[in-house]
Structure 1
Amino acid sequence: MTGSGKRMVAYYKNDGSLVHIAPEPEEEEEPLFRAIREGNANKVRSLAMCPGTNLMLPTKPGWLAVHQAAWFGQDSCLRMLLSAQPGMVNKRTSRGETPLLVAISRVQLGCVQVLLENGADPEIPNYEKETPLYKACERSSAAIVAALLNHGVAVNTRCIQGWTALQETVVRSNLEICDMLLKAGAKLNLRNMYGITPLFTAAQNGQMAALRFLIKHGADVNTQADDGATALYEAAKMGHQEVVQMLLSQKADANKPGKTGMLPLHIAAQRGSDAIVSMLIPVTSKARVRRTGISPLHLAAERNRDDVLEMLIEAGFDVNAQLSEERTRLYEDRRSTALYFAVINNNTEAARMLLAAGADPNLDMFRPLMVASRMGCIQIVKLLVEHGADINAAVPTHPTTFPAVYMFSMKYLPLFKYLLDHGGHALPCFHCRYGGRPHPPLKTSRSNWNEDADRPAAEGPLTRGVQFCEMISAPSICRWAGPIIDVLLDYVGHVTLCSRLMEHLDSYSGWSAIKEKAAPPRPLLQLCRLRVLQLVGHRKLKRLPLPGGLIRFLKHQELPLDDES
């Protein structure tokens, strides 16, 4: 195509080399077809009556002179052609279109009337099984619909996808045609191949006028498609607020689940439609929600719909609702709570709302605290710990001999220290079954642990727990071995470093002081601090009648003991 819009043709040899470029040859239009296009009735008459003219010979696949006249709306030419050759009236094009269908597709009312007067069959469909009435409704031509109905056409014939003329009219919300079709016997609740009725179509497309019309005439507001979706569900999914309001005012059932088991409230929460959620909350059964195996809280948290999440919490939906086993299996990390979704999205506000409403941070197999630690989200880690997250929890599928959360926090020393400060167990990190003896070769394959993944692998549980000395030997962590061991020593008393930990400390001369720190005996001050913490617990330290500097020392804060302010 040239810049001026002229079509060109390139000619190539078999080897791909260009031979010649020339304008595309123009097809010479037959005189009869040119006369019809130009509306030259006299010339059409002379050519049609000429003994050598064969009116039944197509110029294109199936395209006769009558199709040409119907296409260009030349009703006088069409009348002459049918007078000369009446047998053309129902001939079809390569797409199965009769002259009547061609005229209707171009909204040529005059030609439609001529064809009907000359015996055109108004029931012949094209190859998509679209009848002239269906095509007239698709074109929203009330005059053509009236002409066809006056010829007694069937109004409930379906196209290849099962759509009726009424359903096609509803898409365009043409109430005048809808009224004509109903008076002619159109059925309100016929379904297409997907089980969709006209009312469902109106709700899906947000056609309020058509929806009111259908409801007024008795259409079923609780109609369900083959996948179980109701008109209300579909309207909520598409965000049609007025449609949802109308359906609910007509007692549409908000507790009918679709094929996926979800209710309209679920999809509205997922889409973040605040107004629709507020309308659906009062009419949705919490017991029915529980039977679906998923809470709208899960979906709101998953999509970061904070406003919807807040509305659902205020409405009393269970913040500790867990996914059904079937739905949990859809996720590799086996997540189950709305809190988990909020944490893995790094949504601090959503996590705060859920925790404030009583969400338990210890319900998921792979704890939200581990997720937050893995992502380095210190703000969410603090929220979870403040609300009782178990720092020392294990991962059942991949056991460790030390708190599993350390696997995801050791590269963030401030975060690691925060966890230790708030009750994380340090002593198990120094337990080793091999002690001072040589350790077996390391197995750092991801079947053992997956320290660089977003979540632990879901399969292949270990026969024994991974030891801390094995974990710290992972390539991505071992360069931090010295500082990690140094931090841990502040939280333990007398310990013995196993041969592998000693290897790490020996690997860098700057870490020799750490070896000395670990050598017994530990300072009495350190042992006293541990004993006080053991007796009182981290959460009750502030209540002790002790100077501020001593409290800070007990809490492992780096301030001199004589600072009593």
Structure 2
Amino acid sequence: MAGPRISRSTSSASSLTFDDYSLYSNLSEEELLQLAIERSLTDTHGNTTNTTESNTITANNTISANTPSCVQPSHCPDKLNPAARNTNQLSHRAQNSLQAQTTAHYSSPNPPPQKPPDPKTFDGTISLFVTGSGKRMVAYRRHDGSLVHICPEPEEEEEPLFKAIREGDASRVKALAMCPGTNLMLPSKPGWLAVHQAAWFGKETCLRMLLSAQPGMINKRTERGETALLVAVSREHLGCVEVLLGRGADPDIPNYDKETPLYKACERSNPAIVAVLLNHGVVANTRCIQGWTALQEAVSRNNVEICEMLLKAGAKHSISNMYGITPLFTAAQSGQLATLRFLLKHGADINSQAADGATALYEATKNGHEQAVELLISQNADANKPGKRGLLPLHIAAQRGSDIIVSMLIPATSKARVRRTGISPLHMAAERNRDDVLETLIEAGFDVNAQLSEEWSRLYEDRRSTALYFAVINDNIDAVRMLLTAGANPNLDVFKPLMVAARQGCIQTITLLVEHGAEINATIPTHPTTFPAVYMFSMKYLPMFKYLLDHGGNALSCFNCVYGSSPHPPIKTSRTERGELHDIDQVVPRRGIQFCEMISVPSICRWAGPIIDVLLDYVGHVTLCSRLMEHLDSYSEWTCIKEKAAPPRPLLQLCRLQILQLVGRHRLKKLPLPGGLIRFLQHQELMQTD
């Protein structure tokens, strides 16, 4: 008979009838067993007749087993004596009776056996899977896929010696260890010897017996490179540690991560074990695979007692790991105030830098450890050492929004050093909407008009340069107001903050910018236009558009066209998914984009009539070019707008323009004129005439 084929799966196996076992992964063990019983019945190769025959055979076997041998029927029916025939008749009656009882009692007439088949002799497939509750199961199947048996996976039998050690049965351990046939150097699993088992469970007596029987295994290592001593230290079994060290265990053998018993004791923050190891002469400055020493591990656990023992034993606080990080740096990074103070007291270099240039102060700031920052500054830590990005601790504090740390760092930071970095803490605070920090920096006298260096500005596609730009693009009205009040110039960026506010449709920001001198008629050097560039972003919002015109926007430039009444060349545009500005980018005449070309962009042309109508209120005699006329002719209700532009313009309109030109908008309110006339001059209310 062929041996069984075993397949293993962690989450699923073949189904009870070639289905996915994951369908049954949420069933309990009892439910799986019941399902297996029911499914096994449907997999039999018989029909109802076969089932009846099976019941008959079962009944016959039952009667045969219970009938005395002197009255059992012969194999030959011809030779049945009367007593046998009577017995046979009785047997048939009993058979029918038992069959009825069997059908009534069992859920199926042929339940599978409870005992699983022998895996060594089973002819079929054995599949392992895990239920949803984590129960490991095994299923036995025939080659045609039908289920034979399903049950929990049998647990691996524990070796007697290791079981005795786990249970702490010292007498049994002694008997097994001293048995001539026991090989104590034979592991129960990769590298795991009896001595490791005793160290793991903290069985000191068993450990002594094992070492007495086989001293040579004291420094043997597991598959992870752990000696029994390292295992005992990891499990914090002080007694086992003392036993092993007393029997001559090497205290400096590391695991495969180069972690020594001393390192593990510091990791567990166990001063008693550290003291025992140091008393046995362990090397204090051994590094792990990442370059950490035992002292650095003790510092990260904020255990001053262990740190003091290590320094007395010769540990050095100047040793850095593979990233150039010293124990002092670790204490500052994790905010461990006690060990930070301890290391500073014992002469650790407060300004040592990691491989990326960061100092202890830089890391304490980055992680928001206020008390650590305060301690370092009080000990004269240099706040002007930058990290790898060129940023100072003050920049990092502003970026994090740590107002208290910013306040502590400002007196310790050189403003000249800040300027050399090419970026102001104001930029960092405005970019992250740190309004409290922004206010603190402004009050400390940082320049609100500081601009990004070319290197920093190139990091942004729009080439922004001021903190005000960051505040505007974030729609942070409070920050905008704060910066403008402090004297921020709204006209320093290449792409003006006013244009950003118009594009975002924020009338509050636009009002603040205009009130503080934002240049409405500015253009974009990279996208030249013959009219104010801000109109490109405000024309669809007529109240905003009118506000800009009311406050000095140049309307006359919108009617200047080189083609005049002559036909215009076709506009070559292509729609993109990146927004309106990129619709405009597609039109790039050498002379700059004209207003009539801009208003013909598909995303704007539907508002052409109302836009022209508003512009006509701010100009005198103008001539509409052929393209503007085409727009007005495209919609019948815009005919009145075309008539409004036809000469001559009303005298009242011409007088308003002349007065504005002579007096200026800012002086209108000082004129001794009625309020209605002032409002008319300001385009706030049209005067009615008879």
TM-score interval (norm. to shorter): over 0.9
Of structures 1 and 2, the larger Rg is shown by 2
Alignment of 1:347-496 (within 5 A): 347-445=476-574, 452=579, 463-496=590-623
Superposed CA offset, 1:73-105 (max 9, x none):
111111111111111111111111111111111
Q: Does 1:199 align with 2:334?
A: no
Corresponding position of 2:626: 499
Q: Residue type matched to 2:370 in 1?
A: Q
Alignment of 1:535-546 (within 5 A): 535-546=662-673
Structure-2 change in CA distance of 1:30 and 1:224 (3 Å)? same
Distance in structure 1 (CA, Å) of the matches to 2:289 and 2:585:
46
Corresponding position of 1:47: 176
Q: Residue type matched to 2:241 in 1?
A: V
Distance in structure 2 (CA, Å) of the matches to 1:527 and 1:262:
58
What's the CA shift for 1:5? 5.1
Q: Residue type matched to 1:420 in 2?
A: L
Corresponding position of 2:462: 333
Structure-2 change in CA distance of 1:464 and 1:121 (3 Å)? farther
What TM-score results when the alignment is normalised by the length of structure 2? 0.78
My pick for the range that moved more, 45-54 or 10-19, is: 10-19
> Which residue, out of 439, 447, 452, partners 1:318?
447
Alignment of 1:182-221 (within 5 A): 182-221=311-350
Equivalent residues of 1:332, 1:458 under 8 A apart? no
Structure-2 change in CA distance of 1:453 and 1:481 (3 Å)? closer
Q: Does 1:147 align with 2:273?
A: no
Alignment of 1:70-149 (within 5 A): 70-149=199-278
Q: Which 5+ residue runs of structure 2 have no aligned equivalent?
A: 1-129
Corresponding position of 1:534: 661
Q: Residue 191 of structure 1: SS of its match in structure 2?
A: coil
Q: Residue type matched to 2:381 in 1?
A: A
Distance in structure 1 (CA, Å) of the matches to 2:557 and 2:142:
79
Distance in structure 2 (CA, Å) of the matches to 1:151 and 1:92:
20
Equivalent residues of 2:452, 2:465 under 8 A apart? yes
What's the CA shift for 1:25? 3.4
What's the CA shift for 1:11? 8.7
Q: Residue type matched to 2:325 in 1?
A: I
Corresponding position of 2:647: 520
What's the CA shift for 1:459? 12
Equivalent residues of 1:494, 1:521 under 8 A apart? yes
Superposed CA offset, 1:169-219 (max 9, x none):
001111110000000011112111111111111111111111111111111
What TM-score results when the alignment is normalised by the length of structure 1? 0.95
- Percentage identity across aligned positions? 79
Corresponding position of 1:31: 160
What's the CA shift for 1:22? 4.2
Corresponding position of 1:62: 191
Distance in structure 2 (CA, Å) of the matches to 1:212 and 1:560:
78
Distance in structure 2 (CA, Å) of the matches to 1:456 and 1:213:
64
Q: Which 5+ residue runs of structure 1 have no aligned equivalent?
A: none
Superposed CA offset, 1:398-429 (max 9, x none):
11111111111111110010001101111111
Q: CA RMSD in A?
A: 2.4
Distance in structure 1 (CA, Å) of the matches to 2:479 and 2:593:
34
Structure-2 change in CA distance of 1:16 and 1:207 (3 Å)? farther
Equivalent residues of 2:457, 2:465 under 8 A apart? yes
Distance in structure 1 (CA, Å) of the matches to 2:399 and 2:249:
52
Equivalent residues of 1:397, 1:458 under 8 A apart? no
Distance in structure 2 (CA, Å) of the matches to 1:162 and 1:460:
60
Corresponding position of 1:558: 685
Structure-2 change in CA distance of 1:19 and 1:313 (3 Å)? farther
Q: Does 1:246 align with 2:352?
A: no
Distance in structure 2 (CA, Å) of the matches to 1:130 and 1:460:
67
Equivalent residues of 2:623, 2:645 under 8 A apart? yes
Structure-2 change in CA distance of 1:359 and 1:146 (3 Å)? same
Equivalent residues of 1:398, 1:462 under 8 A apart? no
Q: Residue 475 of structure 2: SS of its match in structure 1?
A: coil
Alignment of 1:264-343 (within 5 A): 264-343=393-472
Distance in structure 2 (CA, Å) of the matches to 1:540 and 1:200:
63
What's the CA shift for 1:433? 2.1
What's the CA shift for 1:17? 12
Superposed CA offset, 1:22-71 (max 9, x none):
42332111111111111111111111112222211111111111111111
Q: Residue 258 of structure 1: SS of its match in structure 2?
A: coil
Structure-2 change in CA distance of 1:458 and 1:401 (3 Å)? closer
Distance in structure 2 (CA, Å) of the matches to 1:271 and 1:557:
46
What's the CA shift for 1:3? 6.6
Equivalent residues of 1:322, 1:336 under 8 A apart? yes
Equivalent residues of 1:550, 1:561 under 8 A apart? no
Q: Residue type matched to 1:465 in 2?
A: G
